[in-house]
Amino acid sequence: IRESVKDNDLDMLFELFRKIPEAHLLSDIKKARNMRNLFTMPAKQIKEYVDILNNDKRYKNLLTQVRKYKQIEKKKRKYFKPDEFALEEIITFCTFQDEMKKLYDKFCDKTSGVAYKLIKALNIRACPYCNLNYIDPIIKTNVDGTSEQVLRSHLDHFYSKSKYPFFTLSFFNLIPSCYECNSGLKKDNDFVAYPYLDNIDDVAHFGVNISEIGELSHNFSDLDSFEIQLLPNKKSDLELVTNLLK
């Protein structure tokens, strides 16, 4: 990440950041005046800040007003009157989102190779969400000894960049994942289990409920004969496991 984000980018980001309503909630960043702290922020601290933002009514309203603003035709946006915030504050937040996305696109650009380096260093072979699809990066070695990046996994923002643009380039918010999980299943939805902090084995296990033993013993392709279930390890884990299945 350090390779793809220059100092002048950071200065511009901080000028936008300090004008964002409720930016003071990320007190460590505002106090240190160092946007790089966002990129290297530990997973536990990211989660703590997300909880703070989620519990702040003004921040929730800010996101609502931003969504409304973006739904309006561009030529009519100057007439938008947001609740609780000045129009300039809404525009600043949107600009911050856009600039963070531009830097993320630069980070992911094939020519930079930064995203490839990250995924290769993490050495995660299967998608952590479904544990079904392989996500190894494919790098071709040419006859002259040089390497060429061919294919890599998606990088999911565990905390979506639309709701939490501050963590768009945070190392511990980037989860290597397959296309189906990132684009089809998760999208901008909030998941319960945070891969960098939570281990599903600690709270749940898989079980099989066999309804027709006779048929199952002769025909393993009969999916109606059995059901695979995710079961809590303890009664106290029931609510968490139920949320995982939503």
**What is the per-residue pLDDT across 121-138, written as a single tens digit (0 to 9) for each?**
888 888 888 888 888 887
Helix (H, G, I), strand (E, B) or coil at 170: coil
Q: What is the reported pLDDT for 228?
A: 74
CA–centroid distance for 78 within its chain:
31
What confidence tier does 146 reach under pLDDT thresholds 50, 70, 90?
Answer: confident
Residues of the chain above pLDDT 70, percent: 87
CB atoms within 10 A of CB 68: 13
Least confident of 39-43, 73-77, 183-187: 183-187
- Distance, CA of 228 to chain centre: 28
Residue 76 pLDDT grade (very low, low, confident, very high; cuts 50, 70, 90):
very high
The total of other beta-carbon atoms located within 10 Å of residue 204's CB is: 21
Q: What is the pLDDT of residue 23?
A: 86
CA 213 to chain centre: 42
pTM > 0.85: yes or no: no
Q: How confident is the model at residue 93 (pLDDT cuts 50, 70, 90)?
A: very high
15 and 88 Cβ atoms separated by less than 8 Å = no
Cα 13 off chain centre by: 20
**Which tokens belong to 65?**
């007003």
Write down the pLDDT at residue 225. 66
Question: For residue 195, which of 126, 113, 118, 106 has the smallest C-alpha distance?
Answer: 126
Q: Residue 24's pLDDT is what?
A: 86
